[in-house]
Amino acid sequence: MTPHLHHRCVLALLASMILALCIGLLAWGPVVPRPVPHAPRFTALSTLLGAFVMCVTGWWGVRRAPAPAWSMFFVTVVLTGLMLAIHHWQHGVAVQVAVHLCTGWMWAALSAALLAERVRERWARVTLLAGFMLAAASAAHWLVGQLVDGQGDLRGQLLLQSLPLLLLAAGAVQLPGRWTGPRDWHVVLALHALALLVQALRGGVPQPLLWGAAAMWLAYRVGGVAPAMSLSHDDAGASSHASTSLTTSR
């Protein structure tokens, strides 16, 4: 199988899984969080610590980012950390909308960074634009439900949080990358899946700590290899084609 055909298969499988998840969420109905009467002091402090870790890690990642897609992801990590820190002190509806918006942007940017590194840059731009629009629509939909029914619908947020895991299931992680390997993404997505499990079970370890750990690992990995040390898929294909033509001409 040629690399371009492999990329198309991954994109087709990803699109089909996104469509299936959208249909399943529409059939399931509204997803609302269970009310939590009082958060333990340990959880509240850990959430604030996780937000601080996300801000510092995101700033570190922006300085080490080897490509625009990675810079955008780490910027959204900083924004999410700031909004979570503000939400620790201020629990207004506007702050909650900002938290939903920034977290949706973060997962859309992470998916775009993975596609930019392993598939093509143009698909990353499409994913980033569509993800940002979906995050805005999801936050607006949550706000309408919160104002009308007193309970916001989290289906859009759940779809955005599932995008990186769908990329794993589609096989995008196994494609060759410039700065990260499959093991790096397995670590990051395992932390993300654990964060989703914590959210579902209301465990004692807050999500921001797990998100911060995942972002820290990615910041460490993507900044450890200079971009000039490896070729992109298109460059590699072009050089391979040129060498083949040269050999044939001889």
Q: What is the pLDDT of residues 54-96, one digit of tens each?
A: 999 999 999 999 888 899 999 999 999 999 999 888 878 899 8
pLDDT value at residue 78: 96
- Please state, for a pLDDT cut of 70, what percent of the chain lies above it: 83
Any idea where the domains of the chain sit in the sequence? 39-223
Of the ranges 25-39, 84-98, 228-242, the best mean pLDDT one: 84-98
CA distance 12 to 10: 6
pLDDT value at residue 39: 54
Structure tokens at 192: 């993300």
What band does 241 get if pLDDT is binned at 50, 70 and 90? very low
What band does 234 get if pLDDT is binned at 50, 70 and 90? very low
Instruction: Please state which CATH class domain 39-223 belongs to.
Output: mainly alpha
CA distance 1 to 129: 30
pLDDT (mean) for 101-108: 92
Q: Rounded to two decimals, what is the model's pTM?
A: 0.81
pLDDT (mean) for 164-169: 88
pLDDT (mean) for 105-115: 91
Structure tokens at 134: 């979906």
Site of tokens 């936050």: 139
CA distance 68 to 74: 10
